[in-house]
């Protein structure tokens, strides 16, 4: 299995252009944010061989994604002082690059920590009270296992039709978030979007633009979205090795989008017809009963 999470060593050696690296399956699946007892108790409903998607299970997928993001930000902040010392003994140009990268990264981490802490407070309140007020979700089941799994939360900025959803230039503004979990159950993959917000906000619009894609284009769009918005994704090595060099470079470019290395484009998620997998979307469900793509009151994976 491969991960796109960069290490400081790989960032230095590749001058900010790391490639996916090998990681053990156990390391990819472990999230040490909860003790064993609470992890089992809280997430029991989504840890079996099958899962039925409803407001309760979709909420748990979203809550775990939010909890992961906060745990990751805390870990990054704790390691920052250690990483700042990694330039000792290196040439001046390398030292300058390391400190510039760390300074930029730390600014983003601190801002992200403020955002995700606010998001988690809203999820904590709903977890403890049992209320799902304002929580919305959209899920898709595919007919086969996709070559990626992921768990993340992010600000939706653009949709799949090249539209700007929100601009993140203003510090202090309360921007909308969305969570996304992509995981496999019994030979199929399920993708679950979740968010707390209105039915016409950026998160809802992103989910709606995804739901409007044809059944044979959803998997390809989903993979592009994951590379664009998160590094907490894990890849089947045989799939990555089988990609053309052009497509590998495409994904590497998307993974750097929104950083100093590459500006994000409103066209990044637009469908150009490129195929990365043959999986088909075979079932969808939405928290909005009036959603025309909510073809079933229950989706099993």
Number of domains observed in the structure of the chain: 1
Across residues 84-105, what is the average pLDDT? Answer: 72
- What's the mean per-residue pLDDT of the chain? 83
Domain limits at 126?
Answer: 2-300
What is the CA 40 to chain-centroid distance, rounded? 23
State pLDDT tens for residues 229-258: 998 999 999 999 999 999 999 999 998 887
| pLDDT interval class at 262 (50, 70, 90) | confident
* Per-residue pLDDT tens over the stretch 123-172: 999 999 999 999 999 999 999 999 999 999 999 999 999 999 998 765 55
Least confident of 47-51, 62-66, 218-222: 47-51
């Amino acid at each position: 299995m491969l991960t796109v999470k960069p290490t400081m060593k790989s960032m230095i050696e590749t001058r900010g252009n790391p490639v996916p690296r090998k990681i053990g399956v156990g390391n990819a699946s472990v999230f040490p944010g909860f003790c064993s007892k609470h992890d089992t108790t809280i997430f029991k409903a989504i840890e079996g061989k099958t899962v039925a998607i409803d407001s309760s299970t979709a909420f748990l997928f979203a809550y775990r994604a939010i909890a992961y993001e906060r745990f990751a930000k805390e870990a990054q902040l704790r390691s920052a002082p250690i990483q700042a010392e990694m330039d000792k003994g290196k040439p001046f140009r390398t030292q300058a690059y390391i400190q510039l990268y760390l300074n930029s990264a730390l600014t983003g981490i601190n801002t992200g920590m403020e955002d995700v802490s606010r998001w988690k407070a809203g999820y904590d309140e709903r977890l403890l009270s049992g209320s799902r007020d304002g929580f919305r979700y959209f899920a898709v089941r595919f007919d086969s296992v996709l070559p990626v799994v992921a768990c993340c939360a992010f600000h939706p900025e653009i949709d799949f039709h090249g539209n700007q959803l929100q601009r993140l230039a203003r510090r202090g503004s309360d921007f909308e978030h969305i969570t996304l979990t992509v995981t496999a159950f019994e030979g199929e993959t399920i993708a679950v979007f979740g968010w707390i917000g209105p039915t016409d906000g950026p998160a809802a619009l992103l989910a709606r633009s995804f739901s409007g894609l044809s059944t044979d284009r959803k998997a390809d769009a989903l993979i592009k979205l994951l590379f664009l918005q998160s590094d907490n994704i894990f890849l089947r090595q045989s799939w990555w090795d089988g990609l053309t060099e052009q497509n590998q470079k495409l994904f590497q470019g998307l993974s750097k989008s929104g950083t100093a290395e590459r500006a994000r484009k409103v066209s990044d998620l637009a469908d150009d017809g490129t195929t990365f997998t043959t999986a088909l979307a075979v079932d969808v469900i939405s928290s909005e009963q009036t959603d025309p793509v909510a073809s079933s009151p229950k989706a099993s994976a």
